Structure 1
Amino acid sequence: MPDYLAFDPHPRAPVPLPPALACDSQFHVFGPREQYPVRPDAAYEMPSATWQVAQKLHATLGIGRGVIVQATTYGADHAVVLDALEGLNAGGPRRYMACANAVVLTERDDAYIQKLHDAGVRGARLTRGSLGIRLSAAGQERIFARVKELGWYLKVQPEPTGIAGQLPAIESLDMPVLIDHMGRADPARGAADPSLARILELFGRGNFWVMLSLSEKLSKIGAPWDDVVPLAQRLIDIAPDRCVWASDWPHPVSVQQPPNEGALLELLYRFAPDAATRQKILVDNPARLFGFDSA
């Protein structure tokens, strides 16, 4: 397993703080191997990135809600997510929900899936094949059907080359579909990037969403990631009601030092300079997509 760089251990608060009930729409949690066994072919692990550390991070950032996304590290075994949901939601209203790895819908029985649903899982993520979980066409079709039965959303992680090549399999789906990491569009290509062009087309269907995240890896010029701003603004301009933001903490498979989360929120403020749009991206949109209001 390669060595990757760890998250910044000293997050700072953004200026200004985000609105109340702002949501981090994707972060991952891990734990010690003896408690949470790692898949034999896992691409990475980060046992220091526990839900307790994430809780402190969100308190510093002023984040009031979050979505735990199952790491490929654990495959279909969602014990770390279930424990995190229990801990983060203890003693109050449900402010944390989760997204499963889609492979669980092909490997576990209905009772286990119901357990995930009852705990606050409302989505299933198709992860990129290079991280070790590959699905057959039949497996994907089973996942699509099961996601629809459950009333969940489908989440799609783009390949490093961009999401354009993955879209033929999902573009006709009639369920909410969340595209991660701005589709990994290339900011240097601007409007000519095929992944960006396809996302903008799919926005017209009404059920496609995009996650504003991974700016530090999409950027070709580095911090403060100026080249990513026009890309994000284009997505927001076309579909301000279907964009959400995520830290992607603890920034898995990072070969360069991950950014400070306070700086990432301040980058979002550059994407969306007006308070009304930030309210949509950070509060209203995730509440609607993930089901916080109904929870």
Structure 2
Amino acid sequence: MPDYAHFDAATREPAQPTPALACDSQTHIFGAPDRFPTRPDAAYVVHDATVEAMLDMHKMLGIERGVIVQSTVYGTDHDALIEALHIAGPGYRGCGVVNDSVDDDHLARMHEAGVRGARFNFHPKLKNALPTPDEVRRTAERVVPLGWHLKLHMNGIDPWEVTPLLEDLEADVVIDHMGPLQYGLGLDDPHFRHITDLLRRGNWWVMLSNGDRRSVAGYPWDDATVYAREYIDRAPDRVLWATDWPHPLHAGPVPNDGDLMDLLSRYAPDPAVREQILVTNPHHLFCFEDGGIRGE
């Protein structure tokens, strides 16, 4: 297994105040190895990235809600995710990995635990674990009636290979990590234009995350800011934000999560817009049930 960089456990407070009920729309957790074995071909395992460590990070950032996304190291065994959701409480939702091997009873357990999304990971490092087009469609037919959203990780591939699989659905679809952008092309990037076209449909969303990792310019990641502001301007009601803690497969250096929250403040300098991204939008998409938000 490659030696990837470790997350920064000394989370610092963000420079700007975090609104109440703010949501981190993607984290991953790892369970105790003696109880939750990982796949032998796992590309990334960090056993100290526990749900408790994630909650400590969120407390420092002022985050009260979150979405825990199934790590690929567990395949379709969601026991670690289900336990983490139980520990985290009603302010947290899950996003699972569903294929034909997940039977209806397991799907019901996931839903009861708070899973409200299914993620399709097309990262090239997954090799033989990539979902097939038929699997994507069959999974969508099973989970969309439950009110789940669909999630696409497409970094490193051409998005046109994947997005047509879901374009005819009325379900909510989230594009991870700002999409598979080609930063060297700037806003003329055809991948970027494709994503903004999808955002016009009303049921497609984009997650502002990994801007630091995709940046060509490097810190303070100004080239990521250009894309993020365009997304916000074009579809402010369908933009999410996430740390992607503990930053899987990161070659380093891994940024402090307080720096990533400050990067969001540069994406969206207006506090009202940040509140929409951190509170209002995730409240509607992830179906949180533990209280409303201002204006409702």
After superposition, what is the alpha-carbon deviation per residue over 1:194-218, rounded to whole angstroms, capped at 9, x for unaligned?
Answer: 2210111111111000000001111
Partners of 1:78 and 1:162 lie apart in 2 by: 29
Is the contact made by 1:31 and 1:46 (CA closer than 8 Å) also made in structure 2?
Answer: no
Match of 1:267 among 263, 268, 272: 263
Partners of 1:21 and 1:65 within 8 A in 2:
yes
Q: State the alpha-carbon separation in 1 of the partners of residues 252 and 134 from structure 2.
A: 37
**Aligned-partner SS, 1:205:** coil
Q: Which amino acid is the alignment partner of residue 46 of structure 1? A: V
Partner letter of residue 69 of structure 1?
V
Deviation at 1:131, TM superposition (A): 3.9
Could you say which residue in structure 2 is the equivalent of 1:142?
138
Cross-structure match for 2:106:
112
Q: Which runs of 5+ in 1 are unaligned?
A: none
Contact kept? 1:29, 1:54, Cα under 8 Å: yes
The question of whether the paired residues in 2 share the 8 Å contact of 1:23 and 1:63 is answered with yes
* 1:127 counterpart residue number: 121
Unaligned ranges ≥5, structure 2: 292-296
Whether the 8 Å CA contact 2:124–2:156 is kept in 1: the answer is no
Are residues 1:87 and 2:87 paired? yes
Aligned ranges 1:28-47 → 2 under 5 Å: 28-47=28-47
Amino acid at match of 1:84: A
**Counterpart residue number, 2:200:** 204
- Aligned partner of 2:115: which letter? V
1:147-180 CA-partner distances (Å, limit 9, x unpaired): 2222200000013245343222222221000000
Q: CA-to-partner distance for each residue in 1:104-161, whole Å, 9 max, x for gaps? A: xx21211111010011000000012434322222212211111222220000001324
Indicate the SS of the match to 2:273.
helix
Tell me the percent identity.
Answer: 44
Aligned ranges 1:171-210 → 2 under 5 Å:
171-210=167-206
Name the CA distance, whole Å, in 2 between partners of 1:153 and 1:205: 15
1:153 equivalent to 2:149? Answer: yes
1:114 aligned partner, one-letter code? A
Partner of 2:228: 232
Count of aligned pairs: 289
Task: Describe the shift of the 1:102–1:223 C-alpha distance in structure 2 as closer, same or farther (beyond 3 A).
Answer: farther
Q: Deviations over 1:239-270 (max 9, x none)?
A: 00000100000000011121000000000000
Alignment CA distance shift 1:102-1:159 (3 Å): farther
Measured in 2, the distance between the counterparts of 1:194 and 1:165 equals 14
Tell me which residue corresponds to 1:287: 283
* Larger displacement relative to structure 2 (182-191 or 266-275): 182-191
Q: How does 1:19-30 map to 2 (within 5 A)?
A: 19-30=19-30
- Contact 1:162-1:185 within 8 A present in 2 as well: no
CA spacing shift, 1:51–1:13, aligned 2, 3 Å: same
The alignment yields a C-alpha RMSD, in angstroms, of 1.4
Match for residue 76 of structure 1?
76
Structure 2 equivalent of residue 64 of structure 1: 64
Whole-angstrom CA distance in 2 between matches of 1:137 and 1:225: 34
Q: How does the TM-score come out when normalised to structure 2?
A: 0.94
Which residue in the other structure is 1:249 paired with?
245
Alignment TM-score, normalising by the size of structure 1 = 0.94
